[in-house]
Amino acid sequence: MTGLPEVVRAAPVPVLGGGLVDDAPLDHGASTPALRAVLDAVDAATRTYASVHRGQGWLSRVTSAHYEAARAEVARFVGARADDAVVLTRNTTDAVNVLARALPEGTPVVVFDSEHHAALLPWPAATTRRLTVPRSHEEALGRLDATLASLEPGLFTPLVVVAGASNVTGELWPLERVVATARRHGARVLVDAAQLAAHRPVDLTALDADWVVLSGHKLHAPFGAGALVGRADWLDAAPPYLPGGGASAEVTADGVRWATGAARHEGGTPNVLGAVALAAACATIDRHRAAVEDHEAALTRRLLDGLRATPGVRVLSVFGDDADRGPVAAFTVDGLDSHLVATALAAEHGVAVRAGKFCAHRLVDTLLAGGGTDDATAVRASAGIATTPEHVERLLAAVATLAADGPGAEYVLEPGAGWVPVHDDRELAVDRLW
């Protein structure tokens, strides 16, 4: 199948001064709009929805089959090995925490400060080595190699945690080389693919990594599902993540025998519709992978070239301007608070971006330091399947205007609300959906 998959698009959005414009979705890094195939799959699954795994009715059997088919689809999407576990979770944060709870006591964890908080914070402080933000692949690999070499050999199997792509800049990490470095020291590797899987293929088997985590809401399946996929031994040996029904195989007066496999960490009634959405997104993106990569490569080039050519704009980078990356750019505008920039882009131009530190405070602080400005936060424009060339051009024109002349409207900084237009003729009247 050729061409981009169809995306469920929002209605036009209001801008200051009256009128409606096509929403320019440049916040894919936070959450992605649903694919039409995802919405259709969820609608179909809703029509037969019933209890999962523990019901004998026909619809329960159908729903259970949908859930397990979704698990198999996610496994295929990430190139899982035959004996890998696929634990369906709420999101990437949930998935990382499942593994963090399953670590054998004393396991050394090595993680860079450049990670998203979801991959940076869940690990035991006493056994975690946090490495400062590297500024090149070689520096990252050298520091990782030295840190792993410094660990006492033979006592524990270390775990290396690494992002597939930066949550802030979109830059890709050298995963093959990270895994090879870890293997030389007998370490295992967890890949955070939340910002990678929608843009580039992920293959656990080819990469020889041990686990991968991802989120549906970053993968055009915004229905509250994610996954931890990888080796089962630590998971089977650990206490259940959510003790309760489903996680228990047998309960007697003498105690509990817990289930093994994914069920051990999926206590309670699972999010069937979220799992179906995640699987539908995985299958759809796989079918359109070449078109998606071509589309996003063109958007990335124009986005970066345009921002870098704009006076007063500074584009942030971990590994340098030539680093391979997805369709993401983090930047600052001289003399303007980043939250004001994001507010003006939305209010005046209908462009949706993100401002802040993007749940990666240590990385953003490092990238902003030494830039010759007092910037405390940045703007992030993150494109994807739903972004068109016109959306990027509108962003670039608006940023150029902001950098040269400032906002076109008057704004005030209100406590608890951030920057808001002094005169806002847009009425936010949202009807209930039910």
pLDDT in tens, 49-94: 999 998 899 999 999 999 999 999 999 999 999 999 999 999 999 9
Of 235, 258, 287, the residue at which a domain comes to its end is: 287
Residue 194, pLDDT score:
98
Q: Does residue 4 fall inside a structural domain?
A: no
Residue 93 main-chain phi, psi, to 5 deg: -55, -45
- The reply to whether 330 and 269 lie within a common domain is no
- The reply to whether 282 and 296 lie within a common domain is no
- Sheet harboring 85-89: ordered strands across? 85-89, 226-230, 211-215, 188-192, 159-163, 109-112, 128-131
Q: Does residue 3 fall inside a structural domain?
A: no
We report the CATH number of the domain holding residue 221 as 3.40.640.10
We report the CATH number of the domain holding residue 412 as 3.90.1150.10
Residue 373, pLDDT score:
75
The H or E element spanning position 362 is: helix 361-368
- CA torsion, ordered 314, 319, 320, 326, to nearest 10 deg: -80
Q: Does residue 132 fall inside a structural domain?
A: yes
Place of tokens 């080595």: 129
pTM: 0.96
19 within 8 A of 206, measured Cβ to Cβ: no
- The reply to whether 263 and 180 lie within a common domain is yes
Q: What share of the chain is helix, strand, coil (3-state, %, to 5)?
A: 35, 20, 45
- The reply to whether 29 and 118 lie within a common domain is no
- The reply to whether 236 and 379 lie within a common domain is no
- The reply to whether 20 and 68 lie within a common domain is no
411 within 8 A of 424, measured Cβ to Cβ: no
Q: What is the pLDDT of residues 174-204, one digit of tens each?
A: 999 999 999 999 999 999 999 999 999 999 9
Q: What residues have CB less than 8 Å from 125, skipping those under 6 apart?
A: none
Spot the catalytic one: 95, 359, 379, 386.
359
Enclosing domain of residue 387: 13-33+289-421
* Active site (annotated) includes residue 282: no
- The reply to whether 128 and 169 lie within a common domain is yes
5 within 8 A of 36, measured Cβ to Cβ: yes
Alpha carbon separation from 395 to 59, 102, 342 (Å, rounded): 48, 44, 11
Q: At what angle do helices 338-349 and 389-405 cross, to 10 degrees?
A: 120
199 within 8 A of 259, measured Cβ to Cβ: no
**Regions in the chain scoring below 50 on pLDDT:** 1
- The reply to whether 349 and 332 lie within a common domain is yes
Of 259, 287, 315, the residue at which a domain comes to its end is: 287
- State how far the Cα of 163 lies from the Cα of 144, in Å rounded to an integer: 14
- The reply to whether 311 and 280 lie within a common domain is no
- The reply to whether 57 and 173 lie within a common domain is yes
Q: Does residue 356 fall inside a structural domain?
A: yes
Of 263, 287, 311, the residue at which a domain comes to its end is: 287
- The reply to whether 71 and 28 lie within a common domain is no
- The reply to whether 342 and 245 lie within a common domain is no
The two three-digit tokens of residue 47, written as one number: 């029509």
Residue 424, pLDDT score:
94
Domain count, the chain: 2
Residue 209, pLDDT score:
98
102 within 8 A of 242, measured Cβ to Cβ: no
Q: Does residue 431 fall inside a structural domain?
A: no
Residue 431, pLDDT score:
87
